Structure 1
Amino acid sequence: MNPFAGTGLADAHVDAQVDAHDDRTDRAQDSALERPRTRWTRWLLVTAVVVGIAHVLDPWAWQLRMPTVYEKDWGRLLRIQGFLPTWGVVALAWWLQRVGHADRKRGAALLLFSPVAGGIAAELLKLLLRRLRPDAEHFGYAFRAFSDGPWSNRGMGLPSSHVLVAFAGAFALGRLFPRARWVFYTLAAGCAMTRVLANAHYLSDTVVAACVAWAVVALIDARVGTGIAERSERSPG
């Protein structure tokens, strides 16, 4: 029983509860709007730092060579993380496994479209940034003029297409299986390592690719509206 019933205090008490509820709702909405902004700000800061560090380390990493890396089974295993059809197979496996689940289409879309969009982004960025692949004999960054084959990315290496596809797939899988995400990230990092050892890319080519891949997957995830990561974390096992 409300002790203030029949008095003006009862109305004031109800109004205070309504105001408090409205305040909580407003704060929750503001927080929901702020979280994506905070994530993108953090991404920009982390990208600036790690890309800067990678450029400092490029002269050292350029000296690391293993010409036979892709003659090794482990080298081929790591490289195919950046092979686009690999992720078509993974998306198909998700599609077949998740029959009857509400997240079936959305998860398959995330696994398929993230690497595809990553590969497209890599090719477009190469045309924009125009930095060539490493020279085997002399270290130094070289760029191709826009007047020289403006629509050809032949010989360009920034960012690495293989690594961007690999990390896009890894970040997508990480959202679906958050407890196992570091397994996928390690495989993608291994793909990056092989590209450096093969002297196909500078270290910074691969780091830029990884950073762009995170952004690509975040945009694809927001677009398809999966929300799968949160549901997966709440599920038992």
Structure 2
Amino acid sequence: MSYSADYARRSLGVRAAAALAITLAFLLIPALADQWVFAHWSNPNVYGTEWGRLLRVMGWWPTWLIAAAAVFLQQRGGDPARARRNAWLLVGSPALAGIICEVLKLTIRRERPGLWNGESVFRAFADHPWSTAGLATPSSHTMVAFGALAMMARLFPRARWIWYALAWGCGVTRMLDHAHFVSDVTFAAILGWAVAWGLWMHFVPKSEAA
């Protein structure tokens, strides 16, 4: 029995507790290294390089709008309904991940590390309550990238390590730019992956999802 099938057989309470524990682990354990990574990982010119810009656009939603169009055009000759579904999944997963990320930023309200020399500072709710500008947790670029690239790993599993390498690369550039703590990136990674996994499990038949 696969892990996914075994997980699905568990009670809702067990599944929720497991999901919460894993998610918090991806936030709280890496947070122990936030200041160290900030002090030792830095490349202010990361987005002045071609590889840095390449990795950053993995977290830009229009990238995946273009990719989804390509997937649809490639697959529609064989099974138009499946092609439409796959294209919508590739558009919808990073979009939903990005929306959830913005809500979490407004809730958690931790500011970008570069603003406070690596210190963890939280913005008061009375201070620009509906603006995510300058907020860091979780990393929106990373969460969008994982929402998209984890879906790519489902759609094209033989190349899954390439997709995940691109997603992690996007997150690394956010740390090198001092825009995010390492825990912002790891938290975003697990959440983005979970969005893609949830959409895949919901919309793809079990025979195909296995």
TM-score with structure 2 length normalisation?
0.87
In structure 2, stretches of 5+ residues that fail to align are: none
Contact 1:54 1:207 in 2 (8 A): yes
Q: Does 1:56 align with 2:35?
A: no
> In the TM superposition, what whole-angstrom CA distance separates every residue of 1:142-186 from its partner, at most 9, and x where no partner exists?
111111111111210111110010000111111111222111011
Aligned partner of 1:208: which letter?
A: F
Segments ≥4 residues shifted beyond 3 Å: 30-33, 35-45, 230-233
Q: Give the direction of change, closer, same or farther, for the CA distance of 1:61–1:31 in structure 2 (3 Å limit).
A: closer
- The DSSP-based 3-state class of the residue aligned with 1:103 is helix
Q: Which moved more, 1:80-89 or 1:52-61?
A: 52-61
Aligned length: 202
CA RMSD of aligned residues (A): 2.3
Q: Does 1:217 align with 2:196?
A: yes
Q: Does 1:34 align with 2:3?
A: no
- Give identity over the alignment, percent: 41
- The DSSP-based 3-state class of the residue aligned with 1:141 is coil
148, 152, 155: which is aligned to 1:169? 148
- The DSSP-based 3-state class of the residue aligned with 1:149 is coil
> In the TM superposition, what whole-angstrom CA distance separates every residue of 1:44-85 from its partner, at most 9, and x where no partner exists?
333232322210111111011100111111111111100111
Q: Give the direction of change, closer, same or farther, for the CA distance of 1:199–1:33 in structure 2 (3 Å limit).
A: closer
Q: Does 1:141 align with 2:120?
A: yes
199, 204, 208: which is aligned to 1:226? 204
56, 69, 72: which is aligned to 1:95? 72
In structure 1, stretches of 5+ residues that fail to align are: 1-29
Q: Give the direction of change, closer, same or farther, for the CA distance of 1:221–1:35 in structure 2 (3 Å limit).
A: farther
Q: Does 1:44 align with 2:20?
A: yes
CA–CA distance in 1 between the matches of 2:91 and 2:49? 28
The structure whose RCO (Cα within 8 Å, separation 6+) is larger is: 2
CA–CA distance in 1 between the matches of 2:115 and 2:130? 25
TM-score with structure 1 length normalisation?
0.77
CA–CA distance in 1 between the matches of 2:104 and 2:209? 33
- The DSSP-based 3-state class of the residue aligned with 2:28 is helix
- Greater C-alpha radius of gyration: 1
**For residues 186-201 of structure 1, what are the structure 2 equivalents within 5 Å?**
186-201=165-180
